[in-house]
A and B are shown apart, each in its own frame.
Chain A
């Protein structure tokens, strides 16, 4: 009888086990299906839709700015995206502007290129009730509601300071200074920077043997800059003593070329923005300093400008973004701070 009882207990146990295994398998199946997001079309809804239009979205500066914009926009019940980033086709700034207008977005943050048609596009957008904020470089002649960034004059002064500092640090051995600009146009922002540098050097030294020249580097396509910089260095009879770069890509390209051509110590560099390579080079003394525009500040200001305009119908014409200098003395603290920020950004 006892044996029979045991059998029954085992049988009940086995059936329970079977039920448990079956239930677990069904639950696990549902769980994996849900976990894998097969049913998922989750999305948070927002009331406003802003777009960023730039050709340099892949730059770390823009990524940092975008992160800040996203957070700021989210806090204002708006969603912001870099337009055209996920589209398969390549679009010019103008085409992107058209697309934004046709998509009836609620606001545009624009880094205008040099295309003269842009101003007209900005006007069209504004006419259709889409406010446009320009960042990095301004489109003064358009109906944009606000500009967020530095003006090239200020930037030029800042670069000038670095050039002077660099000359002094090198014990006046620097005579030949080259500024890499996008295009040698007298009215372009970069050219303004160049003229400021030139002016400051002239004013300071009154020495004709110290001369600042601008060299145009076409950075319109990705690999051009690197090739042109190398060609420039190879074709010159005498290497420049100091190269000033006005964007991050040029800075890295110049630094890499200097290392490759074994010119470290012979050519000093003043750069723009930062990357791991640039920071390392500053620490080793291979790059004198770099100017860093506060990307997050710019992002927040740009979104704020749109929000404010939407609420008030008008907005401040210019938001000034801080520029900081990273040189050998401040590089370590910057790295530390930056690492902290990265950590907080990465939830």
Chain B
């Protein structure tokens, strides 16, 4: 295992040589051609062998024919010499005798159990005897021994016939064997046909496989590259080209693609980082602004400093008491209470009782300021005084009635505050006998759009819209606040409906 690892590392360290696709394809072609060529070479050599053998087949017959012809030539020239005694005939005789001797001495001289070889031997021995006889006949002719050469010729003619017949028989046997061999060779050619077809079919299969394998090796990285490109196109920017890298053009393209992907990823990271920075910067800015606002507010609050105000007002009340001005004293005390309640910092819930006290204080101050003009009535279910509601809710409603309902009224203004229980819960109703309110104005108020504060106005600073918003948010329902006109010119009634189940008691 470790060995393999080492080997792997070793191989990994050597950078494989770049081999171009063209070279690879050339290699495929060369290898498959080499295979075809070598197999063909083998097949052709077999075919050639068969054809060579076919060529040689009848050579033996041809040489036997030559032998037979040459034997005839000897016999013919002998006859001619014996007839004419011409030197030409003698010359021909010797030449044909030489040729015949050459030919028959190629025949075997051995005794074997092969009938053809045995026949060859017999032909050879008979030929020797034959030539002895013919030579003797020639000599007898020269010696003019007529009787002897006649006998010699007859003898030679007989032996000649025997040899001819033997050659003929041998030729036939040879021909028979050659024909058998010929049909065997034909058969072997057919066999070659079949076997070479099988070999070539296998070869084709091998070639197809070699080409498939090799081109597959070339194309597979390309397919992987295309797949990765598709992944990237589908948004998977983290996709990577899998598998080994071939050392060819596709490898180069794959590497380039990888680098491109890396640089895209890098770029995207940079963009994300810079956007993040920008967002943080903006957040910081906003925070700073908020802090600034907060600081400003704190500054303003610090400027007001309620303790200073209350202490001053209390000092004023004591002064008025010492001077015996009781009304002034009461007025200043009420003012002090009103402001104390107004500038309290927490948003905690207030009891209804507290809220009513604020309303009373406010109306006292207003009445002192405007000369006891407004009649204030209250019908309170005492059991509900301890109910807690969001603070600074009722006083703005009363203030609104004073400012918009009763101001400029030619009769005496009256405000009736009723707190009672009904089926839906607790109802706090503020009713005035003022001018009333136009329906479109009611709709506008109920929309709860903040109304810009008028500079230097004579207000405590909290508008109806603020009250409505806070009530709706706190009780999480829209019908918590209601404005309705009483009979024309009979004033307005504003109701707060506090649901019983929602934090009714302490």
Contacts and interface: CB of A to CB of B under 8 A. Distances in A.
Contacts of B110: 43, 45
B260 interface: no
B184 A102 contact: no
B233 to A, nearest CB: 26
B169 interface: yes
A1 B221 CA distance: 12
B12 to A, nearest CB: 14
Interface of A: 1, 4, 7-8, 10-11, 14-15, 17-18, 21-22, 25-26, 28-29, 32-33, 36, 38, 41-49, 74, 78-79, 81, 86-89, 95, 98-99, 102-104, 106
Interface string B176-193: 000001001101100110
B230 interface: no
Contacts of B42: 22, 26
A36 B183 CA distance: 10
B84 interface: no
Contacts of A29: 46, 188, 191-192, 195
A11 B210 contact: yes
Kindly name the residue among A18, A44, A48 whose own CB sees the greatest number of chain B CB atoms within 10 A.
A18
Nearest to B205: A14
Q: Is the interface of B mostly helix, strand, loop or mixed?
A: helix
Contacts of B129: 102, 104
B126 A102 contact: yes
Contact of A4 (B126, B168, B217): B217
Contacts of B327: none
17 contacts: A15-B206, A18-B199, A21-B199, A36-B187, A38-B53, A45-B112, A46-B111, A48-B111, A74-B113, A86-B169, A89-B165, A99-B162, A102-B126, A102-B159, A103-B125, A104-B129, A106-B111
Given A32-B184, A36-B184, A38-B185, 18 more contacts: A14-B202, A18-B199, A21-B198, A21-B199, A21-B202, A25-B192, A32-B187, A33-B184, A42-B114, A45-B110, A46-B113, A74-B113, A81-B115, A88-B169, A99-B122, A102-B126, A103-B121, A103-B122
A17 B119 CA distance: 49
A42 B53 CA distance: 18
A88 B205 contact: no
Contacts of B209: 7, 10-11, 14
B26 interface: no
Nearest to A88: B169
A35 B166 CA distance: 29
Nearest to A15: B206
Given A25-B195, A29-B195, A32-B191, A79 B206 contact: no
A38 to B, nearest CB: 5
Nearest to A104: B125
B196 interface: yes
Contact of B202 (A8, A17, A81): A17
Which range contains the number of B residues in contact with the other chain? 35 or more
Given A1-B244, A87-B169, A18 B202 contact: yes
Contacts of B198: 21, 25
Given A25-B198, A29-B195, A102-B159, A18 B113 contact: no
Contacts of A86: 115, 119, 169, 173
B213 interface: yes
A98 B158 contact: yes
B154 to A, nearest CB: 12
Given A33-B188, A102-B159, A22 B111 contact: no
A49 B118 contact: yes
A88 B110 CA distance: 23
A239 B206 CA distance: 87
Contacts, number: 122
Nearest to A49: B111
Contacts of B39: 18, 22
Contacts of B122: 99, 103
B365 interface: no
Contacts of B196: 25
A136 B97 CA distance: 42
A317 B422 CA distance: 172
B117 A43 contact: yes
Nearest to A17: B202
Contact of B165 (A15, A49, A87): A87
A103 B111 contact: no
Nearest to B168: A88
B117 A41 contact: yes
Interface string B191-221: 1100110110011011001100100110000
Kindly name the residue among B121, B122, B169, B184 whose own CB sees the greatest number of chain A CB atoms within 10 A.
B122
Contacts of B125: 102-104
B46 A46 contact: no
A27 to B, nearest CB: 10
B181 A81 contact: no
B172 interface: yes
Contacts of B191: 28-29, 32
Contacts of A45: 110-112
Contacts of B126: 99, 102-103
Contacts of B118: 49, 79, 81
A22 B121 CA distance: 43
A47 B119 contact: no
A219 to B, nearest CB: 25
B151 to A, nearest CB: 14
A229 B109 CA distance: 48
A43 B112 CA distance: 6
Kindly name the residue among A22, A28, A36, A104 whose own CB sees the greatest number of chain B CB atoms within 10 A.
A22
A106 B110 CA distance: 12
A73 to B, nearest CB: 10
B202 to A, nearest CB: 5
A4 B216 CA distance: 9
A46 B114 CA distance: 11
Contacts of A41: 114, 117
B181 A43 contact: no
Contact of B172 (A4, A21, A88): A88
The 3 closest A-B pairs by CB, nearest first: A43-B112, A43-B114, A25-B195
A86 B174 CA distance: 12
A164 B122 CA distance: 50
